[in-house]
Amino acid sequence: MTSEACPPDLLNGLLEALDEDDQRGLERLDALLLDYGADARLHFLRGSILAGLKRYEAAIAAIGKAVELDPDFAAARFQLGFLHYTSGDPQTAEQVWRPLAGLPETAPPRLFAQGLVQLARDEIEAGIATLEQGMALNHENPPMNGDMRLLINTIRAQLANAQDEPLSSTQLLLQRFDGAGVKH
């Protein structure tokens, strides 16, 4: 194993393989990790694939390794916290996200984390507004905008239907998002 980053041509080939088939891409990724195990991007990609395959514990471990290798990798840090959040552990998510507060105030990962923390604290309207602000500024990761829109729509729908028994926004979120509806 080398401490070098995966060369662009190999990374591009991996991304093409992932577009075709997650399982084949995962096999190719695991082979690259044997040679480039210090490349945080590869661990992040592995975790993202595993999350898509609903193998959440393994996804958390892989993305956690990416954050360990590169603590400033904001996308990986956000995704790691998001996995914890949607797995029912908003406290761990908040701890993982704390370093994102050092990003510029307009950085989407910071805004998404802040909005989700606000939701966990039952600051529903503020949380939704912050998530929407993050979506408006997020041009690097469009699928994340879809996830945030899905969360917002679900919370609003469940709040409208939860008149009999008051629930916190976290309870509402976790009732709907047992991980099945979100592409981590």
pLDDT at 184: 43
- Is the pLDDT score of 113 beyond 70? yes
Q: Are residues 50 and 106 in the same domain?
A: no
- Is the pLDDT score of 20 beyond 90? no
CB 5 within 8 A of CB 41: yes
Does 52 map to a domain? Answer: yes
Q: Are residues 113 and 183 in the same domain?
A: yes
pLDDT at 148: 95
Q: What CATH number is associated with residue 30?
A: 1.25.40.10
The dihedrals phi and psi of 71, each to the nearest 5 degrees, come to -60, -20
pLDDT at 167: 54
Does 136 map to a domain? Answer: yes
Count of all residues that appear for the chain in the document: 184
Round to whole Å and give the CA distance between 59 and 72. 19
Weakest-pLDDT range from 38-42, 142-146, 158-162: 158-162
Q: Across 48-52, 93-97, 168-172, 174-178, which has the greatest mean pLDDT? A: 93-97
More confident residue, 51 or 162: 51
- Mean pLDDT for 21-48 is 92
Q: Are residues 55 and 122 in the same domain?
A: no
CB 178 within 8 A of CB 87: no
Burial letters 82-97, b for 16+ CB under 10 A, else e: bbbbbbebbebbbebb
Does 16 map to a domain? Answer: yes
Round to whole Å and give the CA distance between 11 and 1. 16
Does 79 map to a domain? Answer: no
pLDDT at 69: 97
Q: How many structural domains compose the chain?
A: 2
- Measured at the CA of 41, the angle between CA 38 and CA 45, to 5 degrees, comes to 120
CB 168 within 8 A of CB 155: no
pLDDT at 176: 44
Q: Look at the pTM and tell me if it is higher than 0.75.
A: yes
Helices 90-97 and 108-120 cross at an angle (nearest 10°) of 150
pLDDT, tens digit (0-9, with 9 covering 90-100), for 118-130? 999 999 999 999 9
Q: Are residues 115 and 182 in the same domain?
A: yes
Does 82 map to a domain? Answer: no
